[in-house]
Amino acid sequence: MKFRTEIIPQKASKQISHRDKVLFIGSCFTENIGHKFIESGFQTNINPFGIIYNPLSICECLSRVAENKCFTEDELIKVGEFWKSYSHHGDFRSVNKEECLQMINSSLSQSHSFLAEANYVVLTLGTAWVYRLKEDNRVLANCHKLPSNLIERSLCDCDTMLESLLSCFEQCRELNPNLQFIITISPIRHWKEGYRDNMLSKSTLHLMVERFCKRTSSFYFPSYEIVMDDLRDYRFYDSDMLHPNALAIEYIWDKFKQTWFSEDTQRLSSDFNRLNSMLNHRPFNPESEEYKKHLQKAEQLKNELYERIEKL
């Protein structure tokens, strides 16, 4: 007897290996999967502008990375004591204007170099709702708690999002013709938008992504469906009942590995996780002979793993 509807994603025709470089961009769910890649020994770059939720801002971010178009001082704003950018998450901030600008452009430049050599972009869309600054109609990646009377909220339509994503895709391909896109929709519900508005948002994203994947031969990974139709239980959520918990993320990660990794890559990933556990071990006595031997074993395993990657 079967008591649940399990989603088994199809095996991808092209597998991701440890020789590949993978750039992650989008919502906070992107960070969850991106850090799983880091722990598994992959070359990654995660959210060069910080966490971003709507497709228009994500495309703006990725396009600027592809162009290596640096920010200027007049694109920064003062919010309280901090300098920030409407294009960036609040993590990109400083009380010093020049320091904030340097932080932003350093991340952009590093990501441009990474994107030029990357094999995959994993893009996670969070919401189709966008917030525009009334004075110039620009879409904000982050409102930075501006007064609501300065901002206009609207649901972005499929055509507008598709046009933006296609343009971004072409810019990235001009820089790197071999780049492949993997698209996923965040399973995190944006409850503050309202239960109905959240459903309209996710549905609009699904329609747009389907059209984009058909137009570009990009790949869709069903993280949204895995949570909504496979797990379907609040025991897989954090205490806010909105974000998938560690168990759910691990389950999605396992499905991702089954889809995109060969058996050899999965074994190598597991060995990197074992290495991380060894490196993260905190001894009672760091000067003991036993701990020194532990560090030697960890270093030996590290060298062995990178030698395996070189042989791929």
Q: Same structural domain for residues 227 and 277?
A: no
Domain end: 220, 247, 274, which one?
Answer: 247
Domain count across the chain: 2
Quote the tokens at residue 171.
């810019």
CB 108 within 8 A of CB 11: no
What pLDDT score was predicted for residue 128? Answer: 98
237 φ/ψ sector (left φ>0, alpha ψ -120 to 50, else beta): beta
What's the CA dihedral at 190, 209, 51, 147 to 10 degrees? Answer: -50
Q: Same structural domain for residues 113 and 227?
A: yes
- Beta pairing partners, 77: 84
Mean pLDDT value of segment 125-154 = 94
* Residue 261 backbone phi and psi in degrees, to 5: -110, 140
Q: Same structural domain for residues 239 and 295?
A: no
Specify if 218 maps to a domain.
yes
Task: State the residue range of the domain holding 106.
Answer: 21-247
Q: Same structural domain for residues 144 and 31?
A: yes
Q: What is the pLDDT of residues 195-230, one digit of tens each?
A: 999 999 999 999 999 999 999 999 999 999 999 999
Q: Which of the 8 DSSP states describes residue 166?
A: H
Q: Same structural domain for residues 299 and 195?
A: no
Mean pLDDT value of segment 279-294 = 89
Query: Whole-angstrom Cα distance, residue 12 to residue 240?
Result: 34
Domain end: 196, 220, 247, which one?
Answer: 247
What pLDDT score was predicted for residue 24? Answer: 97
What pLDDT score was predicted for residue 123? Answer: 97
Average pLDDT of the chain is 95
Specify if 1 maps to a domain.
no
Mean pLDDT value of segment 281-299 = 90
Q: Same structural domain for residues 92 and 222?
A: yes
Q: Same structural domain for residues 161 and 238?
A: yes
**Residue 257 Cα to chain centre, angstroms:** 16
Q: Same structural domain for residues 143 and 289?
A: no
Specify if 187 maps to a domain.
yes
Closest of 36, 22, 23 to residue 266, by C-alpha = 36
- Above 90 in pLDDT, residue 10? no
